[in-house]
Amino acid sequence: MSTSKRIRLTPGQLMVHLGLLLLVILWILPTVGLLVSSFRDKDQLAATGWWTALSTSVQNGQGRTGTSEQMVETGGKFVIAGNLLDDSKRTILTFNTNFRDLTAYKAGEVLTFKDQSQIRVEADGSYRWESEQPIEEKRGKRIFFVAESPPTFTLDNYVEVLTSEGIGQSFLNTFVVTIPATVIPITIAAFAAYAFAWMRFPGRQFLFVVVVGLLVVPLQMSLIPLLRMYNNIGALLDVSAKSYVGIWLAHTGFGLPLAIYLLRNYIRSLPRDIIESARMDGASHFQTFTRVVVPLSVPALASFTIFQFLWVWNDLLVALVFLGKGDDQIVLTSKMRELLGSRGDNWEILTSSAFISIIVPLVVFFALQRYFVRGLVAGSVKGG
Amino acid sequence: MLDQVLDATIAVIIGVSSCLLYFWGTNLLLETLVRDKQTANGQIESRDELRHAIRPWLFVLPALSLLFTYLVYPVFETVWLSFHDFTGERWVGWSNYTWALANPEFLQSIGNNFLWLLVVPSLSVVFGLIVAVLADRVWWGTIAKSLIFMPMAISFVGASVIWKFVYDFRGPGSDQIGILNAIVVGLGGEPQAWITIPFWNNFFLMVILVWIQTGFAMVIFSAALRGVPKETLEAAQIDGASELKIFFLIMIPQIMSTIIVVWTTITIIVLKIFDIVLAMTNGQWETEVLANLMFDWMFRGGGDSGRGSTIAVFIMLAVIPIMAWNIRKFREEEQGR
């Protein structure tokens, strides 16, 4: 930070600036590509790289004039008129009937054929082919041209994925999974953490060591038994084994070790005097907890909330195992994974739905980065 | 749409409130049932002691029962199932393990997981360190750190889409829309279908995780570097030590314990790596990893709980040393209090 005072940049400092800049560009480029692409016209997205999105692209093209059938006679002249372009986005720069020399005639100029008939092609693609004699043309004359298309940005891709690809519904489903799967573990963990920090009960030390051990247990160790258990319960009660309650509890179970660990360490570090004076005033542990400890623990609660929110929102594995694949349950990550399989080449769909799936975590992240970082630093013993 | 929002809101409210209801309800129950008694001779008998004995359990019981159901019991059950056949009913001894150790897919996964373990933690730590050190020296360091940290908020699947787009391949001659191939073609090379090139494609998948985890490493190192005493650094500068020397001989040793923590944390994530492989290749073109293979066996042919469990046990075995180390470190810290 002291460098800001100096005005002159030494070569070494320049290297620092450039090196860091290079890394930052490298790191954000892939995401920028996704974001830019999601707003591009889908034909352009499929044809050119996203880094060309801002430049007007110049492409060669060709079209056919109408045939003798479309010919009309006006003012003693025979005329075939129409438009070479099938869309209004492009503008024609130059044209010719010979594809070897596309730049022979500028838009608006007149090309004279051997039979003395003349054709004029305008920038908007409209043409007028005039002749003194009736024009004999059965298939339509081929006109080659150079056209430029302006960069077009559109929300069409978003409209499409939200309406017809079912991303809107899975966005909602993700919220239904995420909110309880964040609030429930934090509530349960906060009570447990307080008990571990300030209450006396047999086995306290041992149980907490178990919690520390569970911090790193891989999810994979739990999946098969839980899947079997859920299926059995589902069969027993004659309900579906895939349910929101099921995934809330699963996320709660998997999130608890870290939550208890983080919160217990934080609550333990609160000044003993505060807890004890509350107890002296006749407050029960329940009151001490809700009125004194919870308000003081807001920073720790906030960091875990963000942590768990991001974890659940971004989770794929738990959702694949505990939720159905129907529209009423599928979450964004599962949906994305399905789209990668079924619409793997439709980048307009993939980029826009990916952006929808990452926008919420990004907002949460940038708004509450400070708390998130604090939680990470405190909890870096666990693996995600 | 409105219906769906309403349903969603109701589901959320029910889920959250039933949890709060438990704590509030059990507390009320305790206060009413275990009330101070008035004895026959008019004295008030305090039952504070009893309430004290019961209350901690009301606080920890939901947590303990969930931990038991979702983590402790399944660990033992998985080990148990790994000695059973695909139905989980018939005891088959070590045969799932002998199957695994002779199965080419499994061996390939083990190999790939090793590659991931070597590459991802080390690259993330190196990049994280570089960014943390560089960002401390420029006025826009906070912004730089924020941007490099950003991928941490993106799901593995989202990241996979982002990078699949980077690696996108079009036949030679046509315009490349993937930036990597565009660069290669721009430099005069041939476009490649990166994620289908065996062996090297593993590295293209690893890039995604490094991209995500560097931010994590950077944040932790940044915090740790702030803890390096200023006097030490200044003394070294006065002695004429070069920047590189200060970095390697003072900063690195000072934050060594943090580096180990970050390294192990990323190691655990790598051991469980699943989403990226599933989304990018689903294990094709020799990119299989343990977690994806395990997931595959969970459902393959109606699900084989024996083989799936066996693969999970291998992941667990790799985690156990880290677990033991964590517990030891925690015990030491507690004694230091």
Please check the confidence at residue A261 and state whether its pLDDT lies above 80.
yes
Is A317 close to B150, i.e. CB distance below 8 A?
Answer: no
Residue B164, H or E segment: helix B156-166
Which among B12, B158, B322 has CB closest to A179?
B12
- Average pLDDT on A83-88 reads 76
Pair A104, A158: CB distance under 8 Å? no
Residue B320 has a pLDDT of 93
Please check the confidence at residue A2 and state whether its pLDDT lies above 50.
no
Pair A212, B328: CB distance under 8 Å? no
Mutating which of A221, A317, A338, A373 best tests the B interface, going by the most B Cβ atoms within 10 A? A221
Residue B240 has a pLDDT of 84
Would you state the structure tokens that stand for residue B73, as one six-digit string? 């019991």
Residue A174 has a pLDDT of 92
Return the percentage of chain A with pLDDT > 90, whole number.
Answer: 34
Which among B59, B77, B168 has CB closest to A225?
B77
> What residues of chain B lie within 8 A of the CB of A29, using their CB?
179
Q: How far apart are CA A25 and CA A19, in angstroms?
A: 10
Return the percentage of chain A with pLDDT > 70, whole number.
Answer: 96
Of residues A109 and B337, more confidently modeled? A109
Domain boundary among A101, A118, A149: A149
Q: Does A164 lie in the same domain as A136?
A: no
pTM of the predicted model as reported, rounded to 2 decimal places: 0.86
Residue B10 has a pLDDT of 85
Pair B150, A28: CB distance under 8 Å? yes
Q: Does A175 lie in the same domain as A117?
A: no
Q: How far apart are CA A258 and CA A264, in angstroms?
A: 10
Interface A–B counts its CB contacts (< 8 A) at 354
Distance from the first to the final alpha carbon of chain B: 55
Residue A18 has a pLDDT of 93
Is B275 close to A317, i.e. CB distance below 8 A?
Answer: yes
Which among B77, B275, B308 has CB closest to A316?
B275
DSSP-assigned states of every residue in A247-272: HHHHHHHHHHHHHHHHHHHHHHTS-H
Q: Give the CATH superfamily of B103-336.
A: MetI-like (1.10.3720.10)
Pair A267, A293: CB distance under 8 Å? yes
Q: Name which of A114-123, B138-147, B279-288 the model is least confident about.
A: A114-123
Which among B77, B166, B268 has CB closest to A33?
B166
- Average pLDDT on B59-76 reads 94
Mean residue pLDDT of chain B comes to: 89
Of B279, B117, B172, B243, nearest to A19 (Cα)? B243
Mutating which of B67, B127, B294 best tests the A interface, going by the most A Cβ atoms within 10 A? B67
Q: Does A358 lie in the same domain as A218?
A: yes
Torsion of CA B216, B222, B227, B230, to 10 degrees: 170
Pair A155, A349: CB distance under 8 Å? no
Q: pLDDT tens-digit profile of A268-304?
A: 888 888 888 888 887 878 888 888 899 998 888 988 8
Q: Does A321 lie in the same domain as A356?
A: yes
Is B177 close to A347, i.e. CB distance below 8 A?
Answer: yes
Q: How far apart are CA A97 and CA A113, in angstroms?
A: 9
Residue A178 has a pLDDT of 92
Give domain status of residue A32, yes or no. no
Q: pLDDT tens-digit profile of B87-126?
A: 888 899 899 999 999 999 999 999 999 999 999 999 999 9
The listed range with the strongest mean pLDDT (A96-105, B35-44, B75-84, B219-228) is B75-84
Give domain status of residue A28, yes or no. no
Domain boundary among A94, A122, A149: A149
> What residues of chain A lie within 8 A of the CB of B78, using their CB?
221-222, 224-225
Residue A381 has a pLDDT of 42
Work out the pLDDT band at A118, boundaries 50, 70, 90: confident
Which among B1, B66, B223 has CB closest to A253?
B66
Q: pLDDT tens-digit profile of A201-212?
A: 999 999 999 999
Residue of A nearest to B214 (CA): A27
Q: Does A96 lie in the same domain as A198?
A: no
- Average pLDDT on A67-86 reads 83
Q: How far apart are CA B128 and CA B258, in angstroms?
A: 12
Is A50 close to B150, i.e. CB distance below 8 A?
Answer: no
Q: Which domain holds residue A273?
A: 158-378
Q: How far is CA B95 from the centre of its chain?
A: 30
Is A192 close to B274, i.e. CB distance below 8 A?
Answer: no
Residue A342 has a pLDDT of 86
Kindly report the number of other CB atoms within 10 A of residue B242's CB atom. Answer: 11
Q: How far is CA A9 from the centre of its chain?
A: 39
Give domain status of residue A19, yes or no. no
Which among A1, A248, A333 has CB closest to B157?
A333
Residue of A nearest to B222 (CA): A377
Please check the confidence at residue A383 and state whether its pLDDT lies above 70.
no
Please check the confidence at residue B301 and state whether its pLDDT lies above 80.
no
Is A24 close to B182, i.e. CB distance below 8 A?
Answer: no
Please check the confidence at residue A382 and state whether its pLDDT lies above 50.
no
- What is the tally of structural domains in chain A? 2
Q: pLDDT tens-digit profile of A145-187?
A: 888 877 778 888 888 888 888 888 899 899 989 998 999 999 9
Mutating which of B4, B22, B55, B59 best tests the A interface, going by the most A Cβ atoms within 10 A? B59
Residue B1 has a pLDDT of 62
Is A218 close to B316, i.e. CB distance below 8 A?
Answer: yes
Q: Does A162 lie in the same domain as A85?
A: no
DSSP-H helix ranges across B34-103: 48-67, 73-81, 95-102
Q: How far apart are CA B285 and CA B137, in angstroms?
A: 43
Residue B279 has a pLDDT of 92
Please check the confidence at residue A119 and state whether its pLDDT lies above 70.
yes
| Contacts for A155-158: CB closer than 8 Å, 24+ residues apart | A155/A39, A156/A41, A156/A42, A156/A348, A157/A38, A157/A39, A157/A40, A157/A42, A157/A348, A157/A349, A157/A351, A157/A352, A158/A38, A158/A352, A158/A356
By CB atoms closer than 10 A (0-12, 13-18, 19+), residue A88 is: exposed
Residue A73 has a pLDDT of 84
Q: Does A184 lie in the same domain as A136?
A: no
> What residues of chain A lie within 8 A of the CB of B295, using their CB?
223, 317, 320
Q: Does A194 lie in the same domain as A137?
A: no
Question: Strand, helix or coil at A97?
Answer: coil
Q: Does A137 lie in the same domain as A93?
A: yes
Domain boundary among A149, A178, A196: A149
Is B267 close to A350, i.e. CB distance below 8 A?
Answer: no
The domains of chain B are located at: 2-81, 103-336
Output the CA–CA distances (angstroms, integers) from residue B271 to B120, B265, B317, B319, in the order listed.
Answer: 11, 10, 11, 8
Please check the confidence at residue A88 and state whether its pLDDT lies above 70.
no
Q: How far apart are CA A223 and CA A215, in angstroms?
A: 16
Q: Does A233 lie in the same domain as A365?
A: yes
Q: Does A219 lie in the same domain as A127?
A: no
DSSP-assigned states of every residue in B99-143: HHHH-HHHHHHHHHHHHHHHHHHHHHHHHHHHHHHHHTTSTTHHH
Which among A1, A189, A219 has CB closest to B272?
A219
Residue A55 has a pLDDT of 76
- Average pLDDT on A213-225 reads 92
Is B66 close to A207, i.e. CB distance below 8 A?
Answer: no
Q: How far apart are CA A294 and CA A267, in angstroms?
A: 9
Is B150 close to A376, i.e. CB distance below 8 A?
Answer: no
Mutating which of A20, A183, A311, A328 best tests the B interface, going by the most B Cβ atoms within 10 A? A20
Residue A8 has a pLDDT of 65
Mean residue pLDDT of chain A comes to: 86
Pair A236, B43: CB distance under 8 Å? no
C-alpha R_g of chain A? 33
Q: What ipTM goes with this model?
A: 0.90
